[in-house]
Structures are given as C-alpha cells and as structure tokens.
Structure 1
Amino acid sequence: GTILSGSRNGRLDNINYGGGVGGLTPETLIGNVSEVLDIAQIAVRNIGGGGSANANSDRFLNISMDANLRLCSPDSDIVGAVMIHGTNTLHETAFGVDLTLNCSKPFVATGSMRPNSALSADGAFNFYDAVRTAIHPEARDRGAMIAFNDHLTSVFYSTKTNANTATTFLAIEQGYIAQFIAGQPYFFFEPSLPKARNYFDPFNITYPLPPVVVLYGHQGFDAGLLYSAAANGAKGIVIMGVGPGGLSTNATLAANALFEQGVVTVASLRPFFGAVVPSPQVNNIISSGFLHGEQARIQLQLAVASGYNVDMIRKLFEGAIRKSVYNSATAFYNGTNL
C-alpha cells in the first residue's frame, strides 16, 4: 500500500509512486516511527501483500481468523491489533474483519494517501495514531475502526470519499468516534457497537465464499447484466440503485425472476449519504439499509456462506431499519417488522 511506498519521481509525486526512494517494510515503518516502541511491544504478521485492488475476500478472512486466534483466545496477552493496508480497498477488508472478529479488543486499520517519499507524508502519524488507539482502554467494545488524518471512524459506517486527498475516510452522517491530539485519542462517546452490526463465525462458513457481484445502476441500465451474473455463477447480486436504491422496471423484473432461482438481489445506494429504506411490505428485493454496495456485497457473501435462507438474509439487512421506521407512530404504513 501507499504507506510503505517510495517514488522514482521525487517528493512531489503522489499519483505515480511505487519503488524508488523511500520504500518501507512493516519493520522499517516501525523503525521510522520509533515512538510506538515507547508505548507498545509490537509483533509483525504479514498477510496478503500486493496492491489493494488485487485483494479478494480471502484477505479479510485470513486476517480475521488470525486475529481471532491471537486476540480472542482466553490466554491471549495481546491488547489490540493494527492493520496497515492500501487505501483503495482498506474499508472493504476492514469491514469483512469487523463482521467476523468477535472480541472486545480494538482492531484498527490505517494507511496513507501520500507515499513515504512525499513531502508531508501522512503515513507515520496515521500509524502512530492507530497503535495508540489499539492499546487504549477506551477503544474496546467499539468494533473495528479506521485511524486516519487525525480522526477515528467506525469501519462499519466508513467509506473512502476522496480518491486523492488525505481527508478521505469518513462516516459522513454518523461522525467521528475520536480526534487525535498530540497522538492521543479524545473519544467523543462512551463505547458502543454500531447498530445492525452482525457477526459471522469465520471458522464455521462455507469456503471459498460464494461470488456476489456489484452492479451500478444508471439511466438505461441493462437488466441483462443480472442474468449474465447469475449465469456466471453469482449467488447474490447487489445493485447500487439510483437515489435511495431505486431500480428500473426491467431490473426489478430480472431480480424477481432470479429470486425464483435462488439468487438474492440486494438494492444498495449510489449516494454517499442516506439509506435504502425497505418498502412497508416485504418483497423479493432486499434493501441494504445504510450499507453501501461494497459493504452489502461482503455481508451477503458471509450470509450465504453461513447457510442463511432468504428470510434470515432479509432480517439481517432490513431488521433494524424496519424496527426504527415501522412502528405505532407510523401505523399508516401498515409496515412489516421482522
């Protein structure tokens, strides 16, 4: 990832880096940020490797299973974990870990938007902040987090919002968990887990994870893409629909037809803000709630791999938001709770 990268093009390069001067390994990153050794004893575990665009679900599963064994075993003396990762898919890997890591200890992801060779490289401070969070007693029982650009966000709600700048990982509506001041996290709230965050046992799922594809909704959307995905082996389909998950008539017809063949379709959303609210009565297309397309894909993969039937998958995605929206105050909807 960028946090370990150097450049052949000089210190202004933040677009075409890799190799050259300033490249690091995890061990030399620790050496360069030696302040972390004043606060923690660190063991390095190399999992994955290569650009984050090449990562697949094996990566988050391997990280999660290793973290479960090292952090969550009864005799573990490890207080937390830090994952450094390329930022292009950092939030996807971290989201998969978040759904499959079941102990109260902190798991903190970080990286950088500028290579180590750049002027004002951001990786060193991000790494220090992540380590400080991982050992902080107030960081427990919050789920996985991202430490980036002087702030801490929940992995469950975070997404990469800018392709180029350091202010990129944000949970726009849910906000920051903490701000870093002199490398110390100031937590804005007492510990709590994100609403509708689910857990899947990574040691009790079908492997490899079933293929789930993400399609991007737009004007003139070709509904034949759904049939092509199913013919190519997809066990689930996520469509990032227009607005709050809106699908075209033809896409809806295709999703209903594939439902009869056992292929689940989840409607997610294109905008950064908001949610896909399910219609009052259940139907064959499941709404993603506040999960974006890439997050919905991972949760659907894990649900299918865990043997969930369609009713269980629907409750997984829609249960919490239905309970919030459809209640006695909105009886005029005659909405269904799961």
Structure 2
Amino acid sequence: MLKSLTTLSLLVATSVGLPTRHSKRSDRNAGLTWISKDSSLPKIVLYNTGDGTILAGSPNGRLDTTNYGGPIGGLTPETLIESAREVLDIAQIAVVNITTEGSGGAGSVNADPDRFLSISMDAHKRLCSEGSDIVGAVMVHGTNTLADTAFGVDLTLNCSKPFVATGAMRPNSALSADGPFNFYDAVRTAIHPEARDRGAMVALNDHLVSAFYATKTNGNTVSTFVAPDKGYIAQFMSGQPYFFYSPALPKARNYFGPFKLALPLPKGFDADLLYAAAKDGTRGIVIMGAGPGALSDAAIKAAEDLHNQGVVTVASFRPYFGLAVPTPQTEKIISSGVLRGENARIQLQLALGAGYDFDGIQKLFGDDVRTAIYNEATAFFNGKML
C-alpha cells in the first residue's frame, strides 16, 4: 500500500532573496527540513503528490490551458513556494514527498486508490501525536482526483488540526496561473486558529470547501470546487479567510483509523471490463474519465487495443459542467466534447446504428470544439487540424 514515503532534502540557497532554512529534528518529525525566514513562525507540512496542474507547465506558451504537461515551465514544491514567497512571511514549511505506484506525472488520474492512506498515516504521526508543534498541513494535488484523495483523508485523519488540499486549473506557465494564490490561501488556512475542528478542507478559487462535500463541478474553469447544497466554509479576500460559520463537522462524517484498516483496496481502473465487453460483441464504449475526460494509462492502452479491433471508445467528463477537449492531433480515443457520459452513450449508440465509421463519429463528437480551439490563434499547438 505505502509504496514510498520520503522527505525531500532542500538545496542550499544561492540566489539573493531565497529564504534561510532551519533544520529541527525529533523522533516524530525525523528528517524534516524547514524552509523558513523566521524560526518563530508556525510550522506546516506540505504533502506533495508530485502531480497536478499546480506543478505543470506547457511548451506551447502562456495561452495553453488544455494540452499542458511535461518538464517545460513546471514547478517543484520548492519553486512553488518561491512563486508564492509571501507564504514564508506567515509560516515555516517542510515538504514531504508522497509517491505511490502509478503516480501520473502532470495528471492525477493514475494515482493509486489508496494514496489517501499514505498521507493520513504520515499526518497522524506528524500532526496528531502528543506534543507536536506542527499546526497544520497542506496537500498539493491534481484536481482530477483531488476530491477523492481529500475525502479519503477526511475519513481517516482524526485530528483537530487543519488539513487543506489545493491545486490549480491553469498551469504555472499560463497567462494568469491560479496555483500560487491557491497555495497561499491553503497555507493561510492551515495556520489559522478558526480552521481547527472542521475536518479536511479544499481551498481553490478564493473559497474554502469541506472535503466531505467537495466535488469538482467543471472540468475546465477555475470556479470548479463547490459543495452543492451545502455551501462554502469561507471566502478569501486579500489572502485572508472569512469563515461563515463556527467550527463544525459534517453530521454524516465517520472516522476509520488508518492503521487498523484490513479491507482489500481496489487496484484502480480495471481494463479487463473493456476487453470483456468487446468480447461480448460491444461495438462502442463510453468511459467517464476524471476531470475533463482524463483516462488512466491502463484505460488508454485498452482503448487503443480495442480500436484496432474496430471498437469505438469515447472519453467523457465526470464533472457536471465543462468540456472533454480533443487533443490537437487526432487519436484512437474520441473526446465527447460537450456531452456528459449518459448523453455520449446515446449519441454513440445512434451513430453506430446509422453506420458512421470512426472518423465520422469523431467529427460528430468533437468537430465543433476542435474548430473553436485549434485555429490560427493557437497555431502553437502545431497539431493536425480537422
């Protein structure tokens, strides 16, 4: 389950303006290195999952908010802190790197389903142990599965100290990246006395949401994480949270001790289901992907295999709103465009019944979206235009 849990050692600063670091070691926090300007400031742990838009860049320029990823323009946890260096005016930060088998680089869709347990177990030791001087924790995570991980942490971390998840909807390289301010808001929440006794929380787009109720409602825009019917916990103004209510926990929230769990955990996406459906005569499959239709590596491989057998696979989006944006180049998996999973299934069924081939079905689902996005103004994608 816990594939790898390591603390990151930090390089000695050589640039003017970088913070001074102070090392402080103890049994429960062995190996932590504090990034700090002032050793009297409150301490928080930063859990880095290693994936997500908040750490991503794009080789395509500042307008790219759909096809980013890769090493160009990306951030490490340390350079994320530098990009929001005001956090060091309010807190000391120690980075804990969480890596599990299947971590997905710039996307969180490949994250192991038990990732939250790795984080909860470590947070219990560092935050919740008697005498701990760490006041809270922040987790940076890819938004496609951020709500899943934060919910799992909420059910397995029984501590009064704040645990705040954050991410971004625009990459670091974008014209108006949202990650640095989201990160600052999360740190400010983690050290705020009014943030205690509320369970895990999600901080994005100037709002704070209970992780128990949070859901990603839009696959593309920054105004995505909300708690339908339940509302926000707080709103951020100039980096300061205004809490709407006194501390409280959701009535339906339960707790499961992470060190006592013995239940078998799912292995993630089961590609055997796709192969079985094709063997049974299925001609078309719709997969409701994470976020704006993102598929795991296992799902992509299976869909490409089935494409060679004449089976059409459509990837749709999970949130309530948004688009499954096609890639610049035509591929073996069709993006559903504006249609969510249930509607994409009906259109695919009708298209197959009407005799459309793969290319025709691809145009039905994504031609209008592709035409709108990939034009002379976005020639930096250098993709094949339909």
TM-score bracket, normalised by the shorter chain, equals 0.5 to 0.7
Residue among 81, 87, 97 paired with 1:30: 81
Residue among 177, 185, 202 paired with 2:233: 177
1:221-278 CA-to-partner distances (Å, cap 9, x unmatched) read xxxx8xx99xxxxxxxxxx9xxxxxxxxxxxxxxxxxxxxxxxxxxxxx996xxxxxx
Change in 2 beyond 3 A, CA 1:158/1:74: same
Residue among 105, 126, 131 paired with 2:161: 105
The answer on whether the counterparts of 2:234 and 2:241 sit within 8 Å (CA) in structure 1 is yes
The answer on whether the counterparts of 2:113 and 2:267 sit within 8 Å (CA) in structure 1 is no
1:142-186 CA-to-partner distances (Å, cap 9, x unmatched) read 010000000000010110000000000011210000000100000
Tell me the C-alpha RMSD between the 2 structures. 2.2
Residue among 120, 132, 146 paired with 1:90: 146
Amino acid at match of 2:57: G
Query: Shift of residue 34 of structure 1?
Result: 0.7
Query: Shift of residue 32 of structure 1?
Result: 1.2
The answer on whether the counterparts of 2:112 and 2:267 sit within 8 Å (CA) in structure 1 is no
Measured in 1, the distance between the counterparts of 2:241 and 2:71 equals 34
Change in 2 beyond 3 A, CA 1:194/1:41: same
Residue among 123, 140, 150 paired with 2:179: 123
Measured in 2, the distance between the counterparts of 1:196 and 1:116 equals 37
Amino acid at match of 1:13: D
Measured in 2, the distance between the counterparts of 1:184 and 1:18 equals 31
Amino acid at match of 2:152: G
Query: Shift of residue 207 of structure 1?
Result: 5.4
Residue among 10, 15, 18 paired with 2:61: 10
Change in 2 beyond 3 A, CA 1:204/1:20: closer
Change in 2 beyond 3 A, CA 1:18/1:61: same
Measured in 2, the distance between the counterparts of 1:193 and 1:56 equals 27
Which protein is richer in helix relative to its size?
1
> In structure 2, the residue corresponding to 1:185 is in which secondary structure?
strand
Change in 2 beyond 3 A, CA 1:64/1:12: same
1:21-62 CA-to-partner distances (Å, cap 9, x unmatched) read 421000110011110000000000010243310012221110
**Structure of larger gyration radius:** 2
Amino acid at match of 2:220: N
User: Equivalent residue for 2:252?
Assistant: 196
Q: Does 1:146 align with 2:186?
A: no
Measured in 1, the distance between the counterparts of 2:263 and 2:83 equals 39
Measured in 1, the distance between the counterparts of 2:174 and 2:69 equals 11
Query: Shift of residue 19 of structure 1?
Result: 2.2
> In structure 2, the residue corresponding to 1:42 is in which secondary structure?
strand
1:122-150 CA-to-partner distances (Å, cap 9, x unmatched) read 00000000000000000000010000000
Measured in 1, the distance between the counterparts of 2:227 and 2:83 equals 30
User: Equivalent residue for 2:170?
Assistant: 114
User: Equivalent residue for 1:187?
Assistant: 243
User: Equivalent residue for 2:219?
Assistant: 163
Mapping for residues 267-306 of structure 1, pairs under 5 Å: none
Amino acid at match of 1:121: A
**Identical-residue share of aligned pairs (%):** 76
Which runs of 5 or more residues in structure 2 are unaligned? 1-51, 278-287, 289-317, 321-386
> In structure 2, the residue corresponding to 1:128 is in which secondary structure?
helix
Which runs of 5 or more residues in structure 1 are unaligned? 215-224, 230-239, 241-269, 273-338
User: Equivalent residue for 1:329?
Assistant: none
Q: Taking structure 1 as the reference length, what is the TM-score of the superposition?
A: 0.62
Amino acid at match of 2:154: D
> In structure 1, the residue corresponding to 2:121 is in which secondary structure?
helix
Measured in 2, the distance between the counterparts of 1:204 and 1:3 equals 33
Amino acid at match of 2:232: Y
Q: Taking structure 2 as the reference length, what is the TM-score of the superposition?
A: 0.55
Measured in 2, the distance between the counterparts of 1:116 and 1:4 equals 6
Measured in 1, the distance between the counterparts of 2:157 and 2:113 equals 15
